[in-house]
């Protein structure tokens, strides 16, 4: 949508526009990569289901949630205010207004007035619709708030090997260069950790 509306507005080759599009692409690809990697590191449970790596799934989800409002801002920037002031659908077809609406909707001559109208109507739905507003919030909080992603990651991630590596780099006496290979982390690891606390209490 961002790429299309930029093209329709005839600004797609502007440097700052390309930067904005690249930022959206980067976020999408990193989130996708996190999902793929978490699946590749999945662990098969006794019931036959495969559970992905929790660190990677939450890292991807956190990045997506952090960027989503900025992506809406970028869409609004690339579209312009017309998405909030677009004439009614009927205005483009009524004999009294159609000619003017179709004349002034034009931006890039590579797109017809009808095509430009369709794109701007799509952006109106994307940026000014009440359902889409709910979707924007769901994009951040759906499936758990960003705080839960932080809690999950920080409770599962073992920082000690990384601190050992930093000690070696800082030149601590006796510090060795550790080989770091993070194991896959699943909810079962948290369950085992919880069970251990119960045993320790006894």
> For residue range 139-193, what is the model confidence (pLDDT) as tens digits?
888 878 889 999 999 988 999 999 999 999 999 999 988 788 888 888 776 667 6
- Comparing 194 with 68, the larger pLDDT belongs to 68
Residue-wise pLDDT tens digits, 121-153: 999 999 999 999 999 999 888 878 889 999 999
SS3 label, residue 45: coil
For residue 43, give the 3-state DSSP assignment: strand
Question: What pLDDT was estimated at residue 191?
Answer: 67
CA-to-CA dists, residue 158 to 28, 71, 180, 183, angstroms: 27, 32, 11, 10
pLDDT in tens, 25-61: 999 999 999 999 999 999 998 889 999 999 999 999 9
Which token pair is 2? 């961002």
pTM, to two decimals: 0.83
Question: In this structure, what token pair is assigned to residue 138?
Answer: 């769901």
At residue 39, the 3 state secondary structure works out as: helix
Q: Are 173 and 41 in contact (CB under 8 A)?
A: no
Residue 149: burial class (beta carbons within 10 Å; 0-12, 13-18, 19+): buried
Domains along the chain? Answer: 1-157 (1.20.140.10), 159-201 (no CATH)
- Sign of the Cα torsion 19, 24, 25, 29 reads positive
Place of tokens 């701007």: 120
Q: How many Å apart are CA 56 and CA 171, to the nearest integer?
A: 31
Neighbour tally for 122: CB within 10 Å:
15
| Maximal CA-CA distance, the chain | 85
What 3-state DSSP class applies to 50?
strand
């Amino acid at each position: 949508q961002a790429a299309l509306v930029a093209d329709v507005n005839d600004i797609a080759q502007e440097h700052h526009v390309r930067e904005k599009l690249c930022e959206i692409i980067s976020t999408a690809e990193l989130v996708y990569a996190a999902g793929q990697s978490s699946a590749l590191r999945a662990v098969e449970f006794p019931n036959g289901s495969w559970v992905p790596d929790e660190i990677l799934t939450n890292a991807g989800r956190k990045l997506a949630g952090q960027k989503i409002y900025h992506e809406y801002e970028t869409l609004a920037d690339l579209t312009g205010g017309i998405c909030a002031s677009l004439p009614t659908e009927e205005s483009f077809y009524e004999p009294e207004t159609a000619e003017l609406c179709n004349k002034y909707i034009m931006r890039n001559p590579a797109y017809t007035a009808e095509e430009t109208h369709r794109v701007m109507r799509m952006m109106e739905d994307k940026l000014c619709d009440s359902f889409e507003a709910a979707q924007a919030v769901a994009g951040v909080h759906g499936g758990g708030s960003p705080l839960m992603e932080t809690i999950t990651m920080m409770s599962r991630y073992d920082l000690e090997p990384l601190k050992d590596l930093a000690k070696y780099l800082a030149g601590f006496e006796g510090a060795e260069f550790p080989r770091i290979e993070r194991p896959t982390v699943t909810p079962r690891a948290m369950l085992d950790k919880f069970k251990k606390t119960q045993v320790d209490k006894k």
